[in-house]
Amino acid sequence: MADIPLPPGFTVQKLAEVQRAFESALGADQVFFTPLDRASYNDKFWVDPVGHNPSGAIAPESVEQVQAAIKIANQYKIPLWPISRGKNLGYGGSAPVLSGTVVMDLSRMKKIEFDPETGTAVVEPGVSFYDLYDYLKANNLPYWISTPGNSWGSVMGNALDRGVGYTPYGEHTKRINGLEVVLPTGELVRTGMGAFTGAPTWQAYPFGFGPGWDQMFVQSNFGVVTKMGMWLMPEPESLMGMDVEFDRPEDLKAMIDTIGPLRREGVLQQSPSIGNWLRAAAVLTTRDEWTDKPGALGEDVIDAIRKRFNIGWWGVSLRLYGRESVNKASYRILEDAMKSINPMLIKPTSWVRGEPIEHTGWTGTPITFPMQNVNWYGGRGGHVGFSPILKQDGDAALAQFKRTYARYQEWGMDYQGSFAFGERHLTNVNAMIFNHDDPEMMAKVDPFFRQLVADAKEHGYGEYRTHLDYMDLVAATYDFNNHALWRLNQTVKDALDPNGILAPGKSGIWPSGMGPRTDA
């Protein structure tokens, strides 16, 4: 009993009382407080094995049950951590920031509504990428979804954490249109046109009247989202593009300076992601096939791996979506642009509606094989992502890459990096792969990560998303006017959640009197 993680101010007896209250409100089969349950909801990719242990979990099946659980949480002042499917691997999985928090698992809420005329959907939290994909196929609906590299999770959960995919609808949070939310007081609200009872336009116009609140519930702890409206991409007539490989680390600059203008101009409408050789190789092989030496891999080993799989130091997939005649014209522009910067290899791809299709993220097919990368070192693998936002500028990106790469060498870790284009920015995702069974390696992860955040801060770059362990650290880097944003977040938190019961610490947002003062 002694090892049960308890929230501040709780005893084992008081937690047992809370458990009974949840059981009588939801039913015993929706309440999970055994040691195995706690382990199941922990972070499988932990950096600190005891930092974020939940005390248990509950699985409400309806809005009314969410409200009933919120009522109990307010009564006992027990914190709840809502997850949709809880597959946020690399950022904390299903675990909460604060140990002892009860996970609110919403994966049983799985309704999908779809309007085929406007191509808009309303999904509940438990709807996975596979569910939505199957739904479209089963109902023969000519729309595509956009999926993340690990599509095991929830359409809603991913969008609420600003997840990304690889079609023109790949910035998922931008495709949110209208939310239904249970506030920490238990009140149910709908945003945008949803606030207008019975409006048939809820998913058609995101703003409604007055302030638009959709983004307020993204990466925040201001409410439990129970429905999310979203736009889906009409199935294109044609898909064309190319996979392009480049030979040298320095080629990153020309790649960014060539692809960036095409993205901004709209020739390219998806968000290409430039990845290094390890992003490709880590799903094809394991490190022990190549060397048994610790420390970052030398160029000789990197060259041998690249040669075996015929991959560049960097690779990028570019795709065009839409009418075939337009794609054919755009393809020539892309091809000329890529040829002008000396690629190692260009592999064209082309599809027209009716033909067999590639099952990849570029076609919005749910995939999970990228998770193979955590087997790179052997043992029980995992990774965390260090992901600063950069300008779409080749020199700046190359400089950030060189700094980061030098740090990977210094800390003796193998570099897996990517630069994903938004419309105007780059998201520089660096996966820090590790092996939980290597204590020496695990001891490095935390100081190494903090070093990268400090380096980025020095050059003016902030992260777009981060693991539970680093939410306070990253929130503290957003420090304009002595952390005015942090104070604004806390003011809103206190107003909406007077008992501080909802996900304390998410994105560095704490109720008054809890957590570190980021502005101290």
List residues binding ligand FAD (CB under 6 A): 82-90, 106, 125, 148-150, 153-154, 156-158, 160-161, 163-164, 224-225, 370-371, 373, 503, 506
Residue in the block written with tokens 């022990």: 288
Helices vs. strands in the chain: H and E counts, helices first = 13, 19
Instruction: Name the residue nearer to ligand FAD (CB basis): 255 or 503.
Output: 503
From the CB of 62, what's the least distance to ligand FAD, in Å? 13
Instruction: State the catalytic residues.
Output: 91, 464-465
Instruction: Name the residue nearer to ligand FAD (CB basis): 106 or 305.
Output: 106
Full 3-state SS string of 175-239: HEEEEEEECCCCCEEECHHHHCCCCCCCCCCCCCCCCCCHHHHCCCCCCEEEEEEEECEECCCEE
Instruction: Name the residue nearer to ligand FAD (CB basis): 26 or 83.
Output: 83
Instruction: Name the residue nearer to ligand FAD (CB basis): 7 or 163.
Output: 163
CB-CB neighbours of 337 under 10 Å: 17
From the CB of 285, what's the least distance to ligand FAD, in Å? 16
Bridge partners, 386 (sequence order) = 430
Distance CA 445, CA 448 (A): 5
419 phi, psi to nearest 5 deg: -130, 105
Instruction: Name the residue nearer to ligand FAD (CB basis): 74 or 150.
Output: 150
Output the six-digit token pair for 257.
């300076």
Beta-strand relationship, 102-105 and 176-182: unpaired
Instruction: Name the residue nearer to ligand FAD (CB basis): 88 or 120.
Output: 88
Output the six-digit token pair for 456.
């980025």
From the CB of 158, what's the least distance to ligand FAD, in Å? 4
Distance CA 256, CA 162 (A): 23
From the CB of 30, what's the least distance to ligand FAD, in Å? 16
Distance CA 120, CA 136 (A): 12
Sign of the Cα torsion 352, 355, 358, 361 reads: positive
Output the six-digit token pair for 120.
């808009």
From the CB of 208, what's the least distance to ligand FAD, in Å? 20
From the CB of 445, what's the least distance to ligand FAD, in Å? 15
Output the six-digit token pair for 369.
């094989």
Task: Tell me the longest C-alpha to C-alpha distance in the chain.
Answer: 70
